[in-house]
Structure 1
Amino acid sequence: MRVLVTGAAGSIGRVVTVALAARGHEVVSLDRVPEPDGNETRFHTVDCADADAVAAVFAEERLDGVVHLAGHPDEASLPDSLTSHVHTTAALLDAMVEHDVSRLVYASSNHAVGRTPRRELLPIDTRPRPDTFYGVGKVAAEALMSLYADRYGLDTVACRIGSFLPRPETIRHLSTWLSPDDCVRMVEAALTATAPGFAALYGISANTRAWWDLEPGRALGYEPQDDAEAFAASISPSPEDDWDGAHVGGPFATSTYHRPALDRRD
């Protein structure tokens, strides 16, 4: 496949672009920052929130699919979160419709359901319970993807990523970790699954202590191979573990992240 990867210079983007190319895909990279050293793909310095600039990239490149990883990975005001996560997704979806590109894989987040109290294994069809405006942006982007799947027949897959790290670092990560290798497996499965329509999966590894149901991902061909439990002996308990595990969104569900929706000038 010839795949556009947005946010290609980010932590996940750098892993995914190299790995997809190694697996035989032709990768076109896009990020709003300048091309990083060592990049070996076609690179466009474009802000995904600029719909005209995004459309120009699609007009220049012949694409089969999009992996949308761009977006601010932390909390912000509500308008900034909507721009970062919803407006960028809308610009890509409109360009996809215009240029007959039918597959979008999106880096959603566990924070779309982050205010859900931590109890039993969480199914993919649990109601949206964002823990932050960041989470609200992810919920809204998923809703937009669902609309475009229904309206235009696109195949759109939302990957609710847990904790993408080289290795788990906290007790919570033993449940939420997504290894770099499994991240690549997840993205490729979402790119190549047969006619998923709109689908969502939880982006974690095959963790023994998993909080989220992996079966929706397996139904799309995602077979994670790594398990955070391999690192459990090296992780010491912390006083933060109780509140870190009270809700599935961890610290994002605490009062530390409470803020007004709109930034106002005094």
Structure 2
Amino acid sequence: GVEAVLHFGGISTEKPFEPSMQANILGVANLYEALHKAGTKRVIFASSNHAIGYHHVNTVLDADSPTRPDSYYGLSKVFGEQIARYYFDRFGIETVCIRIGSSFPEPANKRMMSTWFSYDDLVEMLRCSLFAPRVGHTIVYGMSDNDSVWWDNRLVSHLGYKPKDSSSKFAHLFPDTSDFPAKDDVTTMYQGGKFLLDGPQY
């Protein structure tokens, strides 16, 4: 049988509620029910920093911090984390929920200097999540060893994850940080960045 599943499927950008519900909410619910029936005991779930995007950038979060989704996409990731909690409590299916920051070849803006998650560090976190002896229901922030951090992974040391990369090597791309966060600009004031503007407009 299948011992573990890496769930990275679904819609990864902000969309209207209906398609987000079909792909990211019903999709993950169907997945967990299928895994329960198949006897699979571990899931690595691609959650997102947008599950906590309405926290201010001056707030340092850990695994116990409350969710504050910034979008329908963020809401769908909160649902994924919570259904993972339910299936662990009810059926013993372990899940590592990785709140992925910004996994790109290099940071594209000042915000990503705090949220950058190198490809190599992502692969290492997946390896740790798959092979740690026991993970229960774990929430971990997907980030490299960046100098400016909004997230604290000390509560998840049981994974054994030790990032090797840092956004500091890209500091020359953004030499002036005096205007970050900018007053009255929600895309720099809150951790979710531009997703705060991508949601429904009224």
Same fold (TM over 0.5): yes
Matches within 5 A, 1:64-213: 64-213=3-152
Q: Is 2:190 aligned against 1:247?
A: yes
Q: Which residue identity lines up with residue 11 of structure 2 in the other structure?
A: H
Secondary structure of the equivalent of 1:146? helix
1:250 is paired with a residue of what secondary structure? coil
Determine the C-alpha separation between the residues in 1 that align with 2:24 and 2:176.
34
Shift in alpha-carbon separation, 1:120–1:240, aligned structure 2, 3 A: closer
Task: Specify the SS of the correspondent of 2:96.
Answer: strand
Whether contact under 8 Å (1:110, 1:162) holds in the other structure is yes
Compute the displacement of 1:96 (Å).
1.1
Q: Is the 8 A contact 2:72 2:199 kept in 1?
A: no
Match of 2:199 in 1: 257
TM-score by length of 2: 0.91
1:217–1:223 CA contact under 8 A, matched in 2: no
Quote how far apart the aligned CAs of 1:219 are: 2.9
Distance 2:145 2:69 in 1: 24
Which is worse superposed, 133-142 or 210-219? 210-219
**Secondary structure of residue in 2 paired with 1:178:** coil
Aligned mates of 2:191, 2:88 — CA distance in 1: 28
Shift of 1:258: 3.1
Task: State whether structure 2 residue 170 is matched by structure 1 residue 228.
Answer: no
- Structure 1: give runs of 5+ residues left out of the alignment: 1-61, 261-266
Distance in 1 (alpha carbons) for counterparts of 2:8 and 2:201: 25
Shift of 1:216: 3.4
Q: Deviations over 1:189-241 (max 9, x none)?
A: 11122222111000011111011112234331111111101111123558786
Q: Displacement, 1:170?
A: 1.0
SS at match of 1:245: helix
8 Å Cα contact 2:20-2:72 kept in structure 1: yes
3-state SS of the aligned residue for 1:164? coil
TM-score (norm 1): 0.70
In terms of Rg, which structure is larger?
1
- Contact persistence 1:169–1:235 (CA under 8 A): no
2:145 and 2:76 mapped to 1: Cα distance? 27
* CA contact 2:71–2:196 (8 Å) conserved in 1: yes
Whole-angstrom distance in 2 between the partners of 1:193 and 1:82 = 31
Aligned length: 198
In structure 2, give the amino acid aligned to 1:144. Answer: I
| Structure 1 residue 116 displacement after superposition | 1.0
Q: Which residue type is aligned with residue 193 of structure 1? A: A
More strand by share: 1
The answer to whether the 8 Å contact 1:202/1:217 transfers is no
